[in-house]
Structures are given as C-alpha cells and as structure tokens.
Amino acid sequence: MSSDAVNHLPEQAFRLIVTGGGTGGHTYPALTAVRTLQARLAGAGQGLDVLWVGTADGLEARVAAAEGIRFAEVATGKIRRSSNPLKMVSAANIRDMGRVPLGAVQARRIVADFVPDVVLATGGYVAVPVCLAARLCHRPLVVHEQTVRLGLANRQVARYATRFAVSSESTLALLPESARAAAVVTGNPVRPEVLTGQPEKAVQALGLDGFDRALPTVYVTGGAQGSAQINTLVRDILPWLLERANVVHQCGPANVAVLAQSAATLPAHLAARYLLTGYVGPELPDVLALADLVISRSGAGTLAELTALGKAAVFVPLASSAGNEQAHNARHLADAGAAVALLGAATPDTLRQAVEPLLTDPVRRSDMAQQSRLHGRPDAADRLVDVLLDAATR
C-alpha cells in the first residue's frame, strides 16, 4: 500500500492486535512487522497502538515487555503430535485441550474491548483463540506463515483469514482451497539490522586479526543455545576445516568449556583462524557479512536471513522440529541449488563432503549464494505491512 493509502486511514492511532509466539520463529517476525508498521505510520503522521496477546510464560511475553508493548494473556492448549495416533490421546493433550474454551472466551473479550483495525497472527497455539475471536468480532485478520509447510495452528485458522501471507511460493499449493484466494506471498520478515553488517567491523569487534583473509570464512551456529549435534560434527573435522577456512563457531554458552579443551590441542597457525564463542550478540550482522559459508540449523528465521543476504549454506536440520519442518525448509532450498541439506543421520564425513567443494571452488560457492539470494525477500516486512494496511481498509 502506498503512503497515500496510509493517509486515508483514520487520524487516531492505528490499533493492532498481534498474536503468536512460543518460539522465536513465531515471535520475532511479528515484532519486526510491528516495528515496520510503526515506522510507516509515523512517516504519515499517525501513531500505532499495539496489544500483544499471548501466554504469560511464552517468549512473546518477554519480548513484549522488553519492547514496551502492552500484553494480554489468554489460556491455550497444545497438541503434542506423534506418528502414533494412540499417543495423541495423552493426559497432557486432553488437559490442554480443556483450556481451549477458556482461551476462546478470554480472546473474544480482549478483541471486543480493544476493537483493533486489524489482527496479525504469526502462528503458535496461542494464535488460535485470537483468530477465532477476530472472526466472531468481525475484525480483519492477517495470518502469516513463516515455514515452507503450514504449521498446524495456521492450518486450523486459515479459513478465518482476511489475507493469508506466506513466505514461499511453494506454500500456496498447501493452503486449504478456501484460503487460496486470500493468499499473498510476502516472505518472512527479517530484522533490518541483519542486512546492514560490515565484515571489517566483525574483524575489529571480535579480534579476528589471526584470520587469513585469503581463505573463506565459515560461520557455525546452532542458535542462541547452540546445537550439540552441530558442535560435535564441527569439532570432529575442525583441524581439516581450519586448513581450508577461518571459522567463527557460535556454540552456545553452556558448551564453550568442553569445546575449548578440544581447541587447545590445535597447532598455533590453525588456532589463530578459529574463534569459539558462546553467543554472538550485536556483532551478528557483521559476522554474517564476513561469512562466505554458514553451517546451521534450518529454521524459518535462519532461512529468511541467509537468503535475504544471499549466503551459501550447509543445513543440519533439527530432527525434532514440529512436523519435521526444518527438514522441509532445508530440502526446499537444496532442491533449488541454494544450499546443501544434510538430511537423515549427519556424520563428520557427510559434513566434510558437503563443505569441501564449497570451500575449494569459489565459483560453486558464488553460484549457490546467488541462488540463495533469488529466494530471499529482504523487503518482507514492508510487504507484510502493505497487507496489514490493505486488510484494515477493506
């Protein structure tokens, strides 16, 4: 939507309910959309009044508090999935499903009292009662799906959506037929700061003076807490890897000590090319800018960032991700030549075989990075804001 369309909105503050959470994959795209909408409205001289609806013990409650966003709690239930249907009938599932009616009543009261111009739902079980409440209260609803495949909660609420925003063209065919007419491809919102990194800042901030800049740089990450699987795989090929690359290894705070013991045996010239760190904070955009290759999990947020930046990647999907979504995400990019996916049981040998051609052949690495960039949508947050504003004026 253009700025002219924004100017035709009511002069009072634009009212937004946002719901979704439980994980960073649902929470941070919502936060990025809120920030982007706030900036868009401010540019048109209008304010934004936001209410985040979630669970008190969810990540969304902590994020809302840190951002100064008002928060309302609703009860919610979670379905613990299993390939064995009998295991779905568990005491925990039955207990949680009993909370759904209470959450629906609470959500309807919240939506009716707040009277939002639009509701944004980004997935997670907490979004279900709020989406139902938006439908019952006749408020516009925009649902956003981050993953290549549909999350279970979003599949349930698709029929209520005024607009259904997806991150990938390939998701459109997976939508219920009743929701396809309302679907639009926006991409998955990426934090703007991720796109502004500078390699030299990473070198300075992290003291990477021992890195050989004639060699490619590999960034290894398993997320904020690290991944024991990825840490072990990289540890087992580390001397070989450091002969061919510099490595920034973000291993998770709890894993530094044990990995440092292994790193202590490295020859000095290899040790100089290796940075082991528990956590990468504000330097992350600069580290990503420095990296020629990324070894990581394949969550939706990671894919959105790496494709927006156009990074070659080797993905080690988290096998226990809901609905095996990380494997589907990784396979989607691997099939397009935009990444390598280690599906099934990854071993040090399979990791070495995946990494070696990308380190030794700059053209191959560049081609993969270009394919990755073709799948990226760095303007996803603006696209989603366009959809929100359009839905609010219908």
Question: What confidence tens digit (pLDDT) does each residue in 215-274 have?
Answer: 999 999 998 889 999 999 999 999 999 999 999 999 999 999 999 999 999 999 999 999
Q: Which residues contact 220 (CB under 8 A, 6 or more apart)?
A: 230, 234, 247, 248, 249, 250, 251, 294, 295, 296
Burial class (CB in 10 A: 0-12, 13-18, 19+), 68: exposed
The confidence score (pLDDT) of residue 23 equals: 85
Instruction: State pLDDT tens for residues 57-105.
Output: 999 999 999 999 999 999 986 554 445 555 545 555 555 556 678 889 9
Can you say how many angstroms the Cα of residue 158 is from the centroid of all Cα atoms in its chain? 20
Residue 391 has pLDDT above 90, yes or no: yes
Q: Do residues 342 and 274 make contact, with C-beta atoms less than 8 angstroms apart?
A: no
Residue 319 has pLDDT above 60, yes or no: yes
CA dist 306 → 190, 291, 352 (Å): 10, 11, 21
Q: Do residues 355 and 241 make contact, with C-beta atoms less than 8 angstroms apart?
A: yes
Q: How far apart are CA 255 and CA 232, in angstroms?
A: 10
The confidence score (pLDDT) of residue 1 equals: 42
Q: How far apart are CA 104 and CA 75, in angstroms?
A: 8
Residue 248's H or E segment, with its range, is strand 246-250
Q: How far apart are CA 124 and CA 307, in angstroms?
A: 24
The two tokens of residue 161 are 């959506």
The two tokens of residue 289 are 């800018």
The two tokens of residue 347 are 């071993």
Q: How far apart are CA 18 and CA 381, in angstroms?
A: 14
The confidence score (pLDDT) of residue 9 equals: 46
CA-wise closest residue to 381 among 44, 144, 54, 49: 144
Instruction: State pLDDT tens for residues 147-204.
Output: 988 888 888 899 999 999 999 998 999 898 888 999 999 999 999 999 999 999 999 9
Strand 118-121 with 14-19, pairing = parallel
Q: How far apart are CA 67 and CA 28, in angstroms?
A: 12
The confidence score (pLDDT) of residue 106 equals: 96
Strand 274-277 with 14-19, pairing = unpaired
Handedness of CA 263, 268, 273, 276 (dihedral sign): positive
Q: Which domains does the chain have, with CATH numbers?
A: 3-189+378-392 (3.40.50.2000), 192-374 (3.40.50.2000)
Residue 261's CB is within 10 A of a number of other CB atoms, namely 10
Counting residues of the chain whose pLDDT is more than 70, the rounded percentage is 91
Instruction: State pLDDT tens for residues 362-372.
Output: 999 999 999 99
